[in-house]
Amino acid sequence: MTSNKICFIGAGNMSRSIISGLVNSGYQPELIEATNPSTPKLDALKADFAINTSSDNSAAAARADVIILSVKPQLMQQVCEAMSGVDFSNKLIITIAAGIPAARYQDYFGQPIQLIRVMPNTPMQIGAGMSGLYAPANINDEQKAIAEVIVKTGGDAVWVDDEHGLNLVIALAGSSPAYFFLFVEGMVDAATQMGMDAEKARQLAQQAAFGAARMLIENPQLSAAQLRQNVTSKGGTTHEAVETFKQGDLPGLTAKAMANCIARAEEMAKQF
Ligand SMILES: NC(=O)C1=CN([C@@H]2O[C@H](COP(=O)(O)OP(=O)(O)OC[C@H]3O[C@@H](n4cnc5c(N)ncnc54)[C@H](OP(=O)(O)O)[C@@H]3O)[C@@H](O)[C@H]2O)C=CC1
Ligand SMILES: O=C(O)[C@@H]1CCC=N1
């Protein structure tokens, strides 16, 4: 584990997830600081993880070796511009914002910077995250290793060669926990309408989702299609359910949702 001082600019959902992964894997809380304009999220982070907190982005960034930019994309420019008085020459910046291209940040900060883009996901908070990392050509191996160590405290990670690859990571892993939650929401709602109590319905659906995910992970030699076929008895119940999904073009709808996710990231790249 490195002893770099890490500062999170923005203390929202994703920062909390990464901080949780870091602290739970043994990163020293006193090396971590988070900033936010309002105090309730900072107070909660301090209470839960014993990290340092502040509302002064520039002072916190000046104290840190690694700065993780975790504000919404639409706020990124103003937040970075307000920190342009900090000397970033010996610091590594990591941004987790969707959409905004790496090259844009140099304009925001008004100075040469070393920046890595990371696309994480919220399951990092329980060590089950999946992230993508992208490093522009000016980033050295030591800086890549620092980012990878941080990200992997919350789960697995892959490097991608370009920023289109990062948009694919958004569609496959950054945003996708929401797809699975939506699916479970639908299953639980349907079961409750058919008479089961919501708590029991959730227990059944979430454990089935967990089991299916573990089956995928523990059987890399089997395709998802094969695992599905292993559940589907000829003339049986699963066949009826799967055919219903196919009639509603679930594969086409999935592809469309992912394409729209990527299109939004590309739009954000122009917008912010
Ligand atoms: N949520 C997710 O699953 C993922 C999010 N991301 C990216 O992570 C980033 C953060 O998203 P998320 O955590 O969901 O968003 P949140 O809204 O939960 O967090 C953003 C935080 O930034 C704070 N903030 C606002 N203005 C400032 C400022 N001037 N200085 C410091 N902090 C500020 C907000 O404070 P307040 O609420 O008090 O205004 C808020 O706590 C986004 O860029 C998003 O694209 C990437 C992958 C996954
Ligand atoms: O919805 C978003 O824009 C962010 C990026 C990936 C997950 N949440």
Is residue 81 assigned to a domain? Answer: yes
Is residue 166 assigned to a domain? Answer: no
Is residue 226 assigned to a domain? Answer: yes
What pLDDT was estimated at residue 251?
A: 97
Same domain, 137 and 263: no
Same domain, 134 and 40: yes
- Which ligand sits nearest to residue 98's alpha carbon? 1
What pLDDT was estimated at residue 20?
A: 95
What pLDDT was estimated at residue 1?
A: 58
For 183, residues 6+ apart whose C-beta sits below 8 A from its C-beta are 209
Q: Whose CA is nearest to atom 8 of ligand 2?
A: 175
Distance 102 CA to ligand 1 centre (A): 18
Same domain, 36 and 139: yes
Residue where a domain terminates, one of 138, 161, 184: 161
Check if 167 has its Cβ closer than 6 Å to any atom of ligand 2: no
Burial classification of residue 75, based on how many CB atoms lie within 10 Å of its CB (0-12 exposed, 13-18 middle, 19 or more buried): middle
Check if 155 has its Cβ closer than 6 Å to any atom of ligand 1: no
- Whether 65 has a pLDDT exceeding 70, the answer reads yes
Distance 100 CA to ligand 2 centre (A): 12
For 77-94, how does the pLDDT look when each residue is reduced to its tens digit (9 = 90+)?
999 999 999 999 999 999
As a whole number of angstroms, the distance between CA 39 and CA 61 comes to 18
Check if 169 has its Cβ closer than 6 Å to any atom of ligand 2: no
Is residue 168 assigned to a domain? Answer: no
For 192-207, what is the mean pLDDT? 98
Q: How many separate domains does the chain show?
A: 2
- Whether 186 has a pLDDT exceeding 70, the answer reads yes
Same domain, 52 and 129: yes
Is residue 21 assigned to a domain? Answer: yes
For 205, residues 6+ apart whose C-beta sits below 8 A from its C-beta are 184, 187, 188, 191
Instruction: Answer for the pair 80, 69: CB distance below 8 angstroms, yes or no.
Output: yes
Q: What CATH number does residue 95 fall under? A: 3.40.50.720
Ramachandran quadrant class, 121 (left: phi over 0; alpha: psi -120 to 50; beta: rest): beta
Q: What CATH number does residue 235 fall under? A: 1.10.3730.10
Closest CA to 50 of 69, 21, 28, 26: 28
Is residue 170 assigned to a domain? Answer: no
- Whether 45 has a pLDDT exceeding 90, the answer reads yes
- Work out the mean pLDDT of the chain and round it to a whole number: 97
Same domain, 127 and 184: no
Residue among 7, 14, 79 whose CB has most ligand 1 atoms within 8 A, to mutate = 14
Quote the radius of gyration of the chain (alpha carbons, Å).
Answer: 21
Same domain, 150 and 16: yes
pLDDT band of residue 60 (cuts 50, 70, 90) is very high
What pLDDT was estimated at residue 156?
A: 97
Same domain, 90 and 213: no
Q: Whose CA is nearest to atom 23 of ligand 1?
A: 10
For 87-132, how does the pLDDT look when each residue is reduced to its tens digit (9 = 90+)?
999 999 999 999 999 999 999 999 999 999 999 999 999 999 999 9
For 238, residues 6+ apart whose C-beta sits below 8 A from its C-beta are 231, 232
- Lookup: tokens for 222: 């089997």
pLDDT band of residue 194 (cuts 50, 70, 90) is very high
For 260, residues 6+ apart whose C-beta sits below 8 A from its C-beta are none
Residue where a domain terminates, one of 128, 161, 194: 161
Distance 265 CA to ligand 2 centre (A): 9
As a whole number of angstroms, the distance between CA 75 and CA 3 comes to 29
- Whether 54 has a pLDDT exceeding 80, the answer reads yes
For 39-67, what is the mean pLDDT? 98
E strand residue ranges, the chain: 6-9, 32-35, 52-54, 66-69, 92-95, 114-119, 129-134, 155-159
Distance 217 CA to ligand 1 centre (A): 30
Same domain, 147 and 229: no
Please give the residue range of the domain that contains residue 97: 6-161
For 14-34, what is the mean pLDDT? 96
pLDDT band of residue 10 (cuts 50, 70, 90) is very high
Same domain, 64 and 193: no
For 139-181, how does the pLDDT look when each residue is reduced to its tens digit (9 = 90+)?
999 999 999 999 999 999 999 999 999 999 999 999 999 999 9
Check if 175 has its Cβ closer than 6 Å to any atom of ligand 2: yes
- Whether 267 has a pLDDT exceeding 80, the answer reads yes
- Whether 217 has a pLDDT exceeding 70, the answer reads yes
